[in-house]
Chains A and B, each alone.
Chain A
Amino acid sequence: MNTTSIMIVGVGGQGSLLASRLLGNLLVNEGYDVKVSEVHGMSQRGGSVVTYVRFGDKVNSPIIEDGEADFILSFEKLEAARWAKCLKKDGKIIVNTQEIDPMPVITGAAEYPHGILDEIASQGAFIDGLDALSLANEAGSSKAVNIVLMGRLVKYFHIEYEKWIEQIESLVAPKFIELNKKAFALGYNA
């Protein structure tokens, strides 16, 4: 099969690492060749962060560029717009509609473009937006935004629901398993 490319984008500290591990490990178990690329270090301090996940029969480059992503999973609204140029014409953006102000907005040097997703959508991009923060809180913790979004993303994959649950059980500390299962289900059914 051709390579499928997923970009996970967000703000440093939002938990995209767990999301990419969940995805990567399951895809390996499913027998795919998989590459996951992330950058650690200074950008993690509240900056814009990107993780690339690619899978297929044989994956070469670990990174994803303009017009190459089948999916963009965005943990924040502005970040979805920032990386939309990487989406394929027929790709899908799954986005947490939460707004997190970047420093230029905080200091008043720039304004947060609240309508930015409508602009991208008007160009013909497929956008699936959800309030993952509220759903995460409903599941029991604002930190579960990552798992809510994962639940939403995998709806588009042809992999059984139970397999995802097994991965969550193997990756997450025992006391957080129930919370994460609930968060995953809320995202999946949203």
Chain B
Amino acid sequence: MKKLMIGNEAVARGIYEAGVKVVSSYPGTPSTEITEFSAKYDEIHCEWAPNEKVAMEAAFGASLAGVRSACTMKHVGLNVAADPLFTLSYTGVNGGLLVCVADDPGMHSSQNEQDSRHYAIAAKVPMLEPADSSESLAFAKAAFELSEQFDTPVILRMCTRIAHSQSIVETGERNDIPRAEYKKNPAKNIMMPAYAKLRHPFVEERTAKLAAFAEDCPFNKVEMNDTQIGIITSGTCYQYVKEVFGDSVSVLKIGLINPLPTKLIKDFAAKVDRLVVIEELDGIIETHCRNIGIECDGKNLFPPVGEYSQKIIAAAFGIEKEQSFTAETAIPVRPPVMCAGCPHRGLFYTLSKNKVTVMGDIGCYTLGAQKPLDALDAVLCMGASVSGLHGFNKALGDEKMKTCAVIGDSTFMHSGITGLVNIAYNNSHSLVIILDNSITGMTGHQHNPTTGYNIKGDPASKIDLETLCHAVGINRVRVVDPYNLKECDAAIKEELAAEEPSVIISRRPCVLLKSVKAKPAVTVNKDKCRTCKMCMKIGCPAISITDGKAHIDATLCVGCGVCTQLCAFDAIE
């Protein structure tokens, strides 16, 4: 059946058709939908794990037990899961194992722009890269064959543009594969030095076999046309090349990114007058070409930063696109904002008002860094707010400075707990604020161990955050409602003054949850409003100054009442 699918849905379909039984993942843009779509198939056990390392280890266990398994993550998630990945390369698999990682060139929704291809090379595992949804399905499916044939995990590399673009896919049937027998095999599965030493040569032999396979595999394709220009490319860049040149240049499209072919590239290079490598981010294919003695253009023409497009590629060949209509009047930017009624707003306003130095973390609440809230000082990676705060406070020693960490409920479960353990164990007088909005917000409302529901929406064991914080050794744990500014202010002042570690749980569900019912919108009494603009300090998209007075957009306002508490003239009713 022909159907439009985003790349991520197509990967899920490939996983389904390959007969996969277990998928374990942590959500992360642009990878999240793979697992969400996989969860729609009842034949697959799907789950949100607390983090990517746990997810990959769950997939390892499932593979060891003899079924096909997968885990998915965004590029930075693979950093978290790098530990199991590098040794999974040694153990290999029993049932086929797919690691799907989604890069984010252009950083649409990420804190860095790292190139995951380096991981495939470093961990010595094969990596496939599709160029549209149809290939996303086909490559995901083929990854399991490859995994079992070569006894290795296989990485499928997606990128935002492939993951979130819909194109036509032809679906097939599920291939139900019986579980392979599990046999105890210490030399293969117990990676202690004596056995690992024997496995490393196996990994090197496997890489050599895969390199031979790469010369003649169905994933790499040569399209010979005019031979003045020959382009080596992969993934989404292939589409841009075809958009610019159609069939007027010769193309070597690489689908198996690691290991790269040698003879295939040499033969292609010999047939063309000028060789150009076009790849987003780092020059991995280009470096390989040089290593095998092939001269080419590449990063001398194209940047190592940002997302490519047909325009960038055309420009590098001197083809300029016609500009059409451009206003001379300045067009104000429209950055993303915290939603009207977002429970994080009241808390960030209070932190900003108290001039607290705030270690931020990854999630919707990273938007608290923007003006006018301007509430964050640093954001590094998942969990770093908590562990970073500890180091910051240790560096300060006896110097007095108001500091805290803010971290969402899901991020706290992901990698905030270990940081909190460190705060308690190595005793810093740190304040950690858990922004518990009862869901994983940024990635589009995924359940997590604190919500009480699993990926299918069925009731599940629910972590009690208060008990957990007490258990790791925090004595001062209190809960506030971030819609109540007085309560937040008092709690923050008291806990900052405490001579021991403390946790505030700022608890209020995400306003976008269907279960959250909006209150009637508040309105401004124009007679009372003195245009003091206090209500503008919270950066609520529903509030503006219209005709010289504060105005509240009734279609956006959910009646959270935070602005009402700020108005000294009781003008907001």
Contacts and interface: CB of A to CB of B under 8 A. Distances in A.
A142 interface: yes
Contact of A84 (B109, B327, B337, B539): B327
Contacts of B108: 39, 41-43
B333 A45 contact: no
Nearest to A37: B165
B329 A113 contact: yes
A105 B331 CA distance: 10
Contacts of B395: none
Interface string A82-118: 1011111101000000000111111111111101100
Interface stretch (A64-72, A147-155, A156-164, A172-180): A64-72
B322 A106 contact: no
A117 B336 CA distance: 23
Contact of B330 (A24, A48, A113): A113
Interface string B348-383: 000000000000000010110011100000000000
Contact of B310 (A65, A101, A123): A65
Q: Secondary structure of the B side of the interface?
A: loop
Contacts of A48: 333-334
B166 A35 contact: yes
Chain B contact-residue range equals: 35 or more
Interface stretch (B11-19, B238-246, B264-272, B455-463): B238-246
A45 B311 CA distance: 27
B332 A61 contact: no
A110 B332 contact: yes
A42 B365 CA distance: 11
Nearest to A103: B337
Contact of B324 (A86, A103, A111): A86
A105 B167 CA distance: 37
A40 B164 contact: yes
A38 B309 contact: no
B309 A65 contact: yes
Contacts of B417: none
Contacts of A130: none
B426 interface: no
B309 to A, nearest CB: 6
Contacts of B311: 65-66
A24 B4 contact: yes
A40 B337 contact: no
Given A39-B160, A41-B30, A67 B321 contact: yes
A19 to B, nearest CB: 13
A61 B239 contact: yes
B161 A62 contact: yes
Contacts of B539: 103, 106-107
Contacts of B444: 40
Contacts of A11: 334
Which of A28, A34, A45, A81 gathers the greatest number of chain B CB atoms within 10 Å? A45
A91 B132 CA distance: 27
B177 interface: no
Contacts of A47: 334-337
A109 B32 CA distance: 36
A12 interface: yes
A108 B326 contact: no
B509 interface: no
A62 B167 contact: yes
Which of B29, B332, B333 gathers the greatest number of chain A CB atoms within 10 Å? B332
Which of A43, A79, A101 gathers the greatest number of chain B CB atoms within 10 Å? A101
B443 interface: yes
Contacts of A28: 2-4, 168
Interface string B1-30: 011101000000000000000000000011
A45 B4 contact: no
B488 to A, nearest CB: 22
B544 interface: yes
Given A40-B29, A103-B337, A85 B555 contact: no
Interface string B516-560: 000000000000000001001001010111000000000100000
Interface of A: 11-12, 24-25, 28, 33-48, 59-63, 65-68, 78-79, 81-82, 84-89, 91, 101-113, 115-116, 119-120, 123-125, 142
